[in-house]
Amino acid sequence: MSLERIADRIREFASIDAPVGFEETVLRAVRDGLAAVCDAVEVDVRGNVYGRQVGAEDGPVVMVTAHADEIGFLVTSLLPGGFLRFAKLGHPTDMVLPGQRVRVHGADGPLEGVVGVKPGHVLSGDEARRVPAVNQLYVDVGAGSADEVAAWGVEVGTPITFVGEMTATRNPNVFFGKAVDDRIGVVSVLEVAERLAKESVAANVVYAIVVEEEIGLRGAAVAAKRIEPDVMLAIDTVPAGGTPDLRPDELPWEIGKGPLLKVRETRGLSTHGPLRRFVRETADRLGIPYQLIVDTAGVTDATSAQQASGDVAAMVVGLARRYSHSAVEMFDVRDVRRIVDLVAGTVSGLESVEPLRRF
């Protein structure tokens, strides 16, 4: 599994525009990928895709998951001049929006546009330093009237996404672009499924690519109730430190230093202790560097899945990424390969639930 191949695959999936509630393009690609290496593939009404690999009859049920959706926006009104008011889908960072390139996904095809920004020449001192409220912003797609933009296939509820193709830096391992969160997880799940399809594994593995994570961890809750796993491993991204605008103690983990193993999400998940130890032992055995973290910045699908029943041992294996919820999320592709190695090694080593009992 070369770094070049992983980068190319992430580029392919990150280029797909699939905001919350409009994930079908990613889900179809995932379904096709899982069908090639799984014993069965299912799709529920919500859109979650499940690929099943059958293990031993008494083997544990392991759910490996990532979310398909990306942050974005929805058109809320068409202004007389052809401009578009919008609301956020998920939590795009407000301060990066003015002047940002976006793509409006009209019924007749995508429209390239930009979030308008007041000319600097007429901004007053205080106004020049203030980020406008989202309800004051608008998207300009070059239309001259509300009727014209409607004729181009835009209506209330039309989705909008960032424009930000995955771009290589001079460092051959570091890339940036939009939808890194969580297309890296999607690619990792597919890579794990392809690897374990070639092995004899005791666990009964269900690969779940879920919807609507960015607006409340919704798809994963549905998936966990459906699958009823013994173990749940969520692959997601986490805002990283290591930049000049963050103190070293604010987000004390960085890109390029290995997968993030969450001890706790302060607003959600409390990682199952025995599972965390098992993952750490696997990392040590395989020589994979990792970073233990207490995540003060976010929550993941593991939070909702953990509470689906009293029998789920849940954990997040995370990827550090800079500039979260913008069009230029930055990551180190070596961390992605390490995540795949670690998750595959963990799943292949899970022969029963006994090592996961707390006492």
Q: Which CATH topology does 72-162 take? A: Elongation Factor Tu (Ef-tu); domain 3 (2.40.30)
What does the block give as tokens for 75?
Answer: 């058109």
Q: What are the residues facing 176 on neighbouring strands?
A: 167, 330
Question: What's this model's pTM, rounded to 2 decimal places?
Answer: 0.94
Domain range 3-70+178-356, CATH architecture: 3-Layer(aba) Sandwich (3.40)
CA distances from 342 to 193, 284, 287 (A): 13, 10, 10
The CA distance from 22 to 278, in Å, is 36
CATH 3.40.630.10 boundaries in the chain: 3-70+178-356
Which run of H or E residues covers position 291?
Answer: strand 291-295
The CA distance from 235 to 310, in Å, is 21
Do 165 and 328 contact (CB within 8 A), yes or no?
no
CATH 2.40.30.40 boundaries in the chain: 72-162
Do 200 and 344 contact (CB within 8 A), yes or no?
no
Do 182 and 337 contact (CB within 8 A), yes or no?
no
Which run of H or E residues covers position 286?
Answer: helix 273-286
In angstroms, how far is the first alpha carbon of the chain from the final one? 38
Do 85 and 79 contact (CB within 8 A), yes or no?
yes
Do 338 and 289 contact (CB within 8 A), yes or no?
yes
CA distances from 298 to 1, 170, 238, 265, 316 (A): 30, 30, 7, 7, 12
Burial of 134 by CB count in 10 Å (0-12 exposed, 13-18 middle, 19+ buried)?
middle
DSSP letter (8 states) at residue 45: T
What does the block give as tokens for 204?
Answer: 């009964």
Residue by residue, pLDDT tens for the chain (359 residues) are 799 999 999 999 999 999 999 999 999 999 999 999 999 999 999 999 999 999 999 999 999 999 999 999 999 999 999 999 999 999 999 999 999 999 999 999 999 999 998 776 666 766 666 788 899 999 999 999 999 999 999 999 999 999 999 999 999 999 999 999 999 999 999 999 999 999 999 999 999 999 988 777 787 888 888 999 999 999 999 999 999 999 989 999 999 999 999 998 877 778 889 999 999 999 999 999 999 999 877 777 667 777 766 688 989 999 999 999 999 999 999 999 999 999 999 999 999 988 888 88
Minimal CA–CA distance to 201: which of 347, 42, 69? 347
Minimal CA–CA distance to 203: which of 342, 56, 343, 340? 56
Omega of the bond leading into 335 within 30 degrees of 0 (cis):
no
